[in-house]
Each structure stands twice: as C-alpha cells, then as structure tokens.
Structure 1
Amino acid sequence: MSTGGPPTSSGVLNIENTDIQTASGIDLSSSQRTIVGSVLDLFAGRPSLAKLQLWRDDATFTDPLTIATGRDRYAAQWYGLQSAFSSIERLSHQVTDAGNPILMDLKTKYTVKGIGKEQTIQSVIAIFLDKEGKIEKLEDRWDGELPDGKIANAFRHLNAVTVPKMISVPKNADEDAKRGN
C-alpha cells in the first residue's frame, strides 16, 4: 500500500545525515526525518537526483541570493554548492518545530573554493510540504530573515536563471554516481 509520501528508508536515498537533533518535546515522523536528513545533506553540498525526488517539480528554493522555482533551477543551486565551496562544515542544527513548515536552526561554515575565504551562516530553515509529503518550498532565512524589495528580488530571480546556465545537473543516476553523489 503506497502512501504517496516520500520513502521513509534513508538507505535508498543514501542520506548521510541521519542523526537529527531536535529541540525538547519535538518528535519527527520517519518521513519527516527522511526529509530533514536529505535537506541537511543538500546544505552539506551532498545533493543527488534521488534526494531531489523528495521535491515537487514546481517547488521553490529561496535564500537571500536566489528565488529558484522549478526543478532545473533549484537543482542547479544545490549542485552549485559543490562547485563554489571547497569545504562545507555544519556547526550545529536543531529542529525546533515539526509542523508545516518544519523549522530548523542551522549554522554552517562555508569555505570559498580558490580563495579560502570562510563564511559562517546562521539560518532558520523552513521546509514546507505538500499533502503528499513532498517539499513544495524551502526557505533559507539567513539570520532568520529574507530580503524584500524590488531590486533584491530582481537580483534573486536573475541568479535563479543564471546558475543553471553555469552548473550542470546530472541527467541520470550514473552521472550522479560519477560525481560521488
């Protein structure tokens, strides 16, 4: 019997982040744990086509740099992390709300490839799920906020269009595996 939701086995998806930290009193279902683990993998620069199958085709990823709607745009953002950063280190994470959206505090240190500049980002991650349990929207709110305004949003939309032209997303599982995903 299929529930229509995401697979609950993290093994099929090769999710690396299975030790999900939760605030006191927060309990996640197995499908929520799968979603959160896959999102932690994405933020660690460990994307895969299988993990992105937990997302709707028309889902939106937003952060202060982009508003990426549609699989081709948000997938390129996640695969772009591998190209932009020589190291990504999660310093801490904690799920603070198991509702919809699932809310998570995340602190990550990124090292820019080539120049070695380190940047630590403190985020509030909001994961919105549709009625089938797939990700329909993910917000990465740096310092708990997203920019607003015509110029900022125009830049964010431009980034969403530009990144897929520079970052190749694997076409199939074999290409994904060759990249180590």
Structure 2
Amino acid sequence: MTIRNFQTTGTDVGGSHFPFSIHRRITPSPSSSFTPWRIATQVVVPASSPLRRAMSRVSSPNTSGLPPQESKKLPERQAEPSEQKIISALKELYSCRPRESTYEVYNKDAVFQDPVGIATGADSIASQFNALVKVVVLFPRADIEKFRILKNPDGLPPGTILVDQDIAYYRDPNASSPTKTLNSLLTVFTDDKHMITRHVEEWDHLKDSSKEDGFFGTLNDHRKKITASLVNKLFHM
C-alpha cells in the first residue's frame, strides 16, 4: 500500500529550484522478525529538470565514445613519434606558456571546444589561449600534475589522441598546495599531415551539451560561440 505521495522541490548547483515527486510504498516483509515492513521510495524527476540533465551528463558518452567512469579507466600508452609535436604544444598551452610556434600544430580551419567556448580557426584558438595567459594574474602558476596519453577505444578514427590531465592552479605561486585542480579529458583529432582539426576539452570527462542535445544544448552552444567571439575581439594578437 502507498501511504504518502507528495510534491517537493530541489535545488541544483546553480541555485535553480525544480519540482520532483516522492512516492513511498510500504509492503509486509515476513522474512525478517526484526524488520516487519519494507519501505520502497521512488523519486520521480521531470525530464526537463536540471537534476535530470546533470544525471544524464554523468552517464552520457563523452567525445571518446565512453561514459566518464569508463574513459577515466583507459590504460596509458606511449606517444607515437608523429604525435610528439602536438603533445609538446598541449603542454605549453595548459601550463599557460604558449609561444607563437605552439599554434603551428593546428589546421587553419581547426575547431577548439571546451565548456565555456567554441573557437573556429587557428587564429581564434590562439586568441582563446592567449586570453588565458593575459588573465593569469588570477592564477599566476599552473602546473600539469598529470598528463596521461590514453589508449584509444574502438570506434575512434585514426590519428585521434586522448589525454587525461590534471592542471593545478595557484593564486599564490609560492603556495604548497593549489587553489584548484581541474581534471579534464582532451580529445584531439588530426589529419593525415598530423595537424589538429578538432580539439575538445571536457572537464572531469563529462560530456558538454551541444545543439545535438535539444533546446538547452542549442542555447548553451550559442552562448559558447558568443563567448569565443568576444574573446577573439578582445585578445586577438
């Protein structure tokens, strides 16, 4: 028998409220003399709620084609000789020490995407990373604590590079521990000339929403393109 059904609200990380239902059902449990009743509780979350979307991101495949918990378990491999220049460039970018030659690994029409921006073209990508260097006063020190080149799962095109990395950011460059450590999955696609055609960064290996994810994904996709455009205008070198 069901003894209670009620509506309530929850709060997501951003502070938004959303409704959900709780259905509680009690049935006899004769097999246990100490627990005469068994209580089953079902939480029903609307499909459009922030909680449901967050739950979907945790289980959805990221750019590697695997859900986050699986891509984090991929074994490490050694870099191929043809990948060395790209690996060096990535380390320069994420330690906030890019040089003009760093961007030579990008195809002129390459696309860079992370949770806050989408940049199209090598010049725009350079503007994105150079902007990070120019605001480095917030975090004057960025250390690469982990940089694992991962073995590709089945289904990825030849020339794909997967990297699991931890970047430690310091407000105080002399501090013994970082202010924030950010884990991310880098998925880098290359052409037959070993130039980057697409560079995707996914924080904590979580799939980022895009226009393929419906209405909210389309809004987020548009927001990121606007962000990248503003950065390009402000910091283009």
Q: Considering the TM-score relative to the shorter chain, is it more than 0.5?
A: yes
* Percent of residue pairs bearing the same amino acid type: 23
Q: Which runs of 5+ in 1 are unaligned?
A: 1-22, 170-181
Gaps of 5+ in 2: 1-73, 153-157, 173-177, 210-216
Q: Work out whether residues 95 and 105 of structure 1, in 8 Å CA contact, stay in contact via their aligned partners in 2.
A: yes
Q: Tell me how far 1:72 sits from its aligned partner.
A: 2.3
In the other structure, the counterpart of 2:39 is none
Q: In structure 2, what is the Cα distance between the partners aligned to 1:25 and 1:64?
A: 25
Matches within 5 A, 1:84-95: 84-85=135-136, 86-95=140-149
TM alignment of 1:112-131, pairs within 5 A: 118-131=179-192
Runs of at least 4 residues of structure 1 off by over 4 A? none
Report matched runs for 1:73-152 at 5 Å. Answer: 73-85=124-136, 86-97=140-151, 100-111=159-170, 118-148=179-209, 149-152=217-220
| Greater C-alpha Rg | 2
Aligned match of 1:51: 102
CA-CA distance at 1:101 after TM superposition: 1.6
Match in the other structure for 2:19: none
Structure 1 residues 91-123: Cα deviation after superposition (integer angstroms, max 9, x where no partner): 21110126532101011122469xxx9332110
Of 41, 63, 66, 2:92 maps to: 41
CA distance, structure 2, for counterparts of residue 136 and residue 109 of structure 1: 27
- TM-score, normalised relative to structure 1: 0.72
* Structure of higher RCO (CA pairs closer than 8 Å, 6+ residues apart): 1
State how far apart, in whole Å, the 1-side matches of 2:222 and 2:75 are.
40
CA spacing shift, 1:93–1:25, aligned 2, 3 Å: closer
Alignment correspondent of 1:176: none
1:160 paired to 2:228: yes
Checking the alignment, whether the CA contact within 8 Å between 1:63 and 1:146 is kept in structure 2 is: no
User: Which letter maps to 1:96?
Assistant: L
- Whether contact under 8 Å (1:97, 1:104) holds in the other structure is no
Maintained 8 Å contact 1:64/1:146: no
Which amino acid in 2 is paired with 1:74?
A: I
**CA 167–112 in structure 1, closer or farther in 2 if over 3 Å, else same:** farther
Aligned CA RMSD, in angstroms, stands at: 2.3
